[in-house]
Structure 1
């Protein structure tokens, strides 16, 4: 196992292939460990000659977690909307610094980035602050600013009150999330339960999803700064995404010069095997095209 240090925070990461091919850093969604980027996703990227490096964001997997800290998401939302002063335990910029720590540990001057949901927001923040470290962006389920004006209070209540004390409880949670956010045709209880057990055993931390939501609620609006980027960017988004509406992906694509937005008519806010394979193949082609441009 490999770890990097950003101050007092320890970040776990894993190379998914040997060799010295161009590195591709993989950043997962809110509260989710790096195991979401499994071998089905990584295989076409590796076959194209790249080296995926999947990172457990802080509060996920084997990275450091603030399990005794529960933010007031309503207060942080109010601040984002201009009526408060509450701050999250950490911000998107701190999570971007975690990625820089991994790059330092691996002696990487620059890398390609793949981010899913909040992972894509972290990748964009890093690109804005350190454009020379980013070779390309591939964003799955994309947003480029706080969603404070779109997240219902009921969801914040659920996140702050969420209790998953054991593996079976987490499996039940993920089954419910898949029913709520995925496509009915993709609902495969056995597949979802297997993925949930893999994630739980790798590391699911109490309150981790809430703390990630706190960071995303407090996220800066990156749209203006994204206009200065000159890197190849691909955005993959589902027409039926109930968590990050399509309009948020569209505005991200409009903000990044030359970005390609591809809308999947059969995709919600979920990652079934058929989509993971499709994402991996499409992103591999994007990476090859980005490399050819250099």
Structure 2
């Protein structure tokens, strides 16, 4: 049996101060180390917890600046760029008693992970891009709305669908925490492969979601747009790309493109999942991710 870790990797809640910002992180599980960065930006970390994965790995779940128990920036809601998140990740990894870690980024956390791997590859033994994409902007938005339209057509007649579509329509106008939480909860039926197969379970997920409004702009108010397509070809880290077949946000199209762009990558499509494969197919997700880490990513 692997003995429990102590110090910065002891089970439970920890804090560290980076650039004057107090960050909180959570440690659960035993085994090789994997640092997890949640999505949003602005969604609190709890939805990303993966107990099945914790059976094989020591999971370090970061609460990014501006969310949960971590401090907000002085320029909040602006300034939460990938470069800022990467500098916080770098400090967290340096704080841990290891030389290199595996990094798992979910959704927007995948965008952060890509940036970190491109700028600080020496800190990483490998990376899991979980529901990520190589770019944002108009093309990304058009693909998302196309997939949302397919969701609406597939579930036409469900009484909840109009409210889901209203939640998506409201996203561009989000300007405070209350609106952010409402949108995050409102889109959940489209974010899982089959919300109506277990309304109680997914309803509990909706109610548990917590979020902070993060603008997506830098300190000067400029959009922090992403296009990593050219840069990813130079990445030499082992990478596992994971996507749910039914994800409307960062789905199979983007996973396949990431797989083509990253030389040392593997692709895993979760056939019965949407955006939350660690909850929808937890055993398969954990087996594949832990296997990637434990076997040297071969």
TM-score, normalised to structure 2's length?
A: 0.74
The residue number in structure 1 matching 2:69 is: 62
RMSD across aligned positions (CA) = 3.3
Contact 1:175-1:189 within 8 A present in 2 as well? no
Equivalent residues, number: 261
Please identify, of 183-192 and 99-108, the stretch whose mean Cα deviation from structure 2 is larger: 183-192
Alignment match, 2:153: none
Unaligned runs of 5+ in 2: 1-12, 146-165
Structure 2 vs 1, CA of residues 233 and 243 (structure 1 numbering), >3 Å: closer, same or farther? same
Q: Match of 2:233?
A: 227
1:248 matched to 2:254: yes
1:4 to 4, 16, 24: 16
Gaps spanning 5+ residues in structure 1: where?
A: 71-87
User: How much does 1:60 deviate?
Assistant: 1.9
Return the structure number with greater relative CO, CA threshold 8 A, min gap 6. 1
2:25 counterpart SS class: strand
More displaced 10-residue stretch of structure 1: 118-127 or 57-66: 57-66
Matching residue of 1:138: 128
Q: 150-159 or 257-266, which moves further after superposition?
A: 150-159
- The two structures have a TM-score, normalised by structure 1, of 0.75
**Do structure 1's residue 195 and structure 2's residue 205 form an aligned pair?**
yes
Residue 76 of structure 1 is matched in structure 2 by none
Question: Residue deviations 1:106-163, cap 9 Å, x none?
Answer: 2432100111111111111111111111111112112122234332699585243366
Match of 1:47 in 2: 55
Residue 242 to residue 47, structure 1, CA distance change in 2 (3 Å): closer
Q: CA 1:191–1:68 in 2, change beyond 3 Å: closer, same or farther?
A: farther
Structure 1 residue 216, shift from structure 2 partner? 12
Cα 1:28–1:269 shift into 2, 3 Å: same
